[in-house]
A and B are shown apart, each in its own frame.
Chain A
Amino acid sequence: MIALWIILGIVVVLIFFIIGAYNSLVGFRNQVKNAWAQIDVQLKRRYDLIPNLVETVKGYAKHERETFEMVTKARNLAQQASSTAGAAERGKLEGELGMALGRLLAVAEAYPELKANQNFLALQEELTSTENKISFSRQYYNDSVLKFNNKIQMFPSNVIAGMFSFKLGEFFEVIVAAEKEAPKVSFT
Chain B
Amino acid sequence: MWEQIRSNQVRSVFLIALIAGLLLAVGYFLGLYFFDSAVGGLVIALIVWAIMSLVAYFQGDSILLGMAKAKKITPDDAPRLYNVVEEMKIASGLEKVPDVYIIDDPALNAFATGRDPSRASVAITSGLLQKLTRDELQGVIGHEIAHIKNRDVLLMAITAVMLGTIVILSWYASRFLLFGAMTGSGRRSSSRSGGGGAQAIVLIVGLVLMILAPIMAQLIYYAISRKREYLADASSALYTRYPEGLASALEKIGGSKQQLKSANQATAPMYIINPLHKEGMKAADLTSTHPPISERVRILRAMTGGASFANYNDAYRKVHSGKQVIIPKTAAAGIGAIGIRQASLAAPGELGLASEKASDKAASTHEVSDLMLRLNKYRTVDCECGARWKIPPGFKDNDVLCTRCGRRIRL
Residues of A within 8 A of B (CB): 35, 38, 42, 115, 121-122, 124-126, 128-129, 132-133, 136-137, 139-140, 143, 146, 185, 187
Contacts and interface: CB of A to CB of B under 8 A. Distances in A.
B79 A122 contact: yes
B104 interface: no
B347 interface: yes
Nearest to B349: A121
Given A115-B347, A129-B80, 16 more contacts: A35-B93, A121-B349, A124-B347, A125-B83, A125-B350, A126-B79, A126-B83, A129-B84, A129-B87, A132-B83, A133-B87, A133-B90, A136-B87, A137-B90, A139-B91, A143-B1
30 contacts: A35-B93, A38-B90, A42-B90, A115-B347, A121-B347, A121-B349, A121-B350, A122-B79, A124-B347, A125-B80, A125-B83, A125-B350, A126-B79, A126-B83, A129-B80, A129-B87, A132-B87, A132-B344, A133-B86, A133-B90, A136-B88, A136-B90, A136-B91, A139-B91, A140-B90, A140-B91, A143-B1, A143-B2, A146-B335, A187-B345
B90 to A, nearest CB: 4
Contact of B86 (A115, A128, A129, A139): A129
B29 interface: no
Contacts of A146: 335
Interface of B: 1-2, 79-80, 83-84, 86-88, 90-91, 93, 134, 239, 241, 335, 344-345, 347, 349-350
User: 6 tightest A-B contacts by CB?
Assistant: A129-B83, A136-B91, A136-B90, A132-B87, A137-B90, A140-B93
Contacts, number: 46
A143 B84 CA distance: 21
Contact of B345 (A125, A129, A185): A185
A166 B349 CA distance: 51
Contacts of B86: 129, 133
Contacts of A140: 90-91, 93
Contacts of A136: 87-88, 90-91, 239
A45 B347 CA distance: 22
Contacts of A125: 79-80, 83, 350
Contacts of A115: 347
Contacts of A133: 86-87, 90
A125 B349 CA distance: 12
Contacts of B239: 136
Contacts of B335: 143, 146
User: Which of B86, B90, B134, B239 is most buried by chain A, counting CB atoms within 10 A of its CB?
Assistant: B90
A95 B403 CA distance: 56
A16 B74 CA distance: 47
Contacts of B88: 136
